[in-house]
Amino acid sequence: MNKTLVAKFRNTFKTQVSLILVLALVAAQSACDRTPAIELANLGMVTGQALTEYYESLVNDTNDTWDMELFWVALIKKQNSASGRGIDPNFDDEDIKLLKGRIDQLNSRVKMAKQMRTMYTELKDYASYDAGASVEIAAKNLSSALTGLIPVPGVNAAGIIGAIAGDLERFSQIKDLKEKIKISKKLMDSLNELFEKEESAYALIAQENNVTATAIAQSLIENEMVLPWGLLDKIPTTFGVKWVSKTITDPPKDDDLKKGFIAIIKRRNDHLNDAAKSAAENLGEAIKDLAAAHAKYLEKKPIDLSNVASLLGRAKFYLGEIQKLKQASE
């Protein structure tokens, strides 16, 4: 082996070792970036899912309110048509247009939340093993969901979210995880602004549903059309006593008893309203904290997502409570 060849081998070896070392360093750095990115993506997925369920619950509330209102109006008409004039506060075309518009607005938010979940799922895959193609599709779908977001006229959702739609369109062309997280942060910031502006309206939509159900329950008790004894079911269970069958097969006729049952219904209404407010507040806080965690990631600061997880857990708890209370009332 001549000297030139040995020198060439040494040089090549040195270059290769250096290259391996550089690659190892990049990989280590990349792995450091990837773990919190995967955590962000995980919480983004859970937030997208929670938001989907939340917006769907508001669509259901609006539809239920609409149905219940039609029944309630018929009940009122029955009470007040003795004179034969049949006066009632029924919906007219403009009311129906407003309700349909509200359902469309909420459904467009359901679609956006679903796409957000999908995008974070794909982002998680990308952070785990560069699954570029599927991220491209997810981001484009989210972009079209955002541009199709029907704005509440005054809130100007298009203005808030519109700017991010263009970024999502080029999401797939970006091959850098950090750049992708930058776009995700923009999305979370926009979503945070949208949710903050609309949060009161969300809580009031749920509240309207509770109030309508309460008004009907009141009317049914007043008019002896339901058996409200089930509202007191805990008492016989707790003390091991049984209802006298003739007590619970007839509706209460005594005015004071009726008032007592109506007071219980109103108390449950208050509880449902508090739960609806808490669900919206916790979800709003979770979105805000998740957006802040994206910023910390980009500043290379350690991120702690336990608070986001706990806020989302609380939001889900309150939504579950609402379901339980509604089922109990049924």
Four-point Cα dihedral 205, 158, 165, 315, nearest 10: -20
Q: State both tokens at 305.
A: 């997502």
Find the helix packing angle between 255-298 and 177-222, rounded to 10°: 180
Query: Is 11 buried (19+), middle (13-18) or exposed (0-12) by CB count in 10 A?
Result: exposed
Contacting range for other proteins; rule: CB under 8 A; set: 38-46, 90-98, 131-139, 187-195: 90-98
Nearer to other proteins (CB atom), residue 177 or residue 215: 215
Binder of other proteins out of 63, 207, 307, 329 (CB under 8 A): 207
Closer Cβ to other proteins, 201 or 292, answer by number: 201
Binding to other proteins (CB under 8 A) within 49-78 occurs at 75-76
Q: Which candidate, 329, 317, 227, 225, places its Cα nearest to that of 275?
A: 317
Nearer to other proteins by Cβ, of 95 and 304: the residue is: 95
Tell the smallest beta-carbon distance from residue 88 to other proteins (Å): 6
Taking the C-alpha atoms of residue 260 and residue 131, their distance in angstroms, rounded to an integer, is: 61
Query: Toward other proteins, which CB reaches closer, 122 or 208?
Result: 208
User: From the centroid of its chain, how far is CA 31?
Assistant: 31
* Angle (CA) 203 207 211, round 5°: 175
Residue whose CB is less far from other proteins, 81 or 173: 81
Q: Which stretch binds other proteins (CB under 8 A): 14-22, 139-147, 210-218, 239-247?
A: 210-218
Task: Tell me, by CB under 8 A, how many residues bind other proteins.
Answer: 35
Among 214, 268, 309, 318, binds other proteins (CB under 8 A): 214
34-42, 129-137, 148-156, 246-254 -> range binding other proteins (CB under 8 A): 148-156
Q: Is the dihedral of CA 133, 137, 139, 140 positive or negative?
A: positive
Give the position of tokens 């995967």.
38
Q: Which of 2, 3, 31, 94 binds other proteins (CB under 8 A)?
A: 94
**Does an H or E element contain 326, and which?**
helix 306-329
Using CB under 8 A as the binding rule, whether residue 192 contacts other proteins is answered as no
When asked if residue 295 is in the footprint of other proteins (CB under 8 A), the reply is no
**Cβ-based neighbour number of residue 294 at 10 Å:** 23
**Residue-wise burial string across 156-167, b where 16 or more C-beta atoms lie within 10 A, e elsewhere:** ebeebbeebbeb
Of 147-155, 165-173, 231-239, 291-299, the segment contacting other proteins by CB under 8 A is 147-155
Segment lying near other proteins (by CB under 8 A), choices 9-17, 152-160, 238-246, 286-294: 152-160
Q: Which is nearer to other proteins, 119 or 220 (CB)?
A: 220
If one asks whether residue 222 binds other proteins (CB under 8 A), the answer comes out as yes
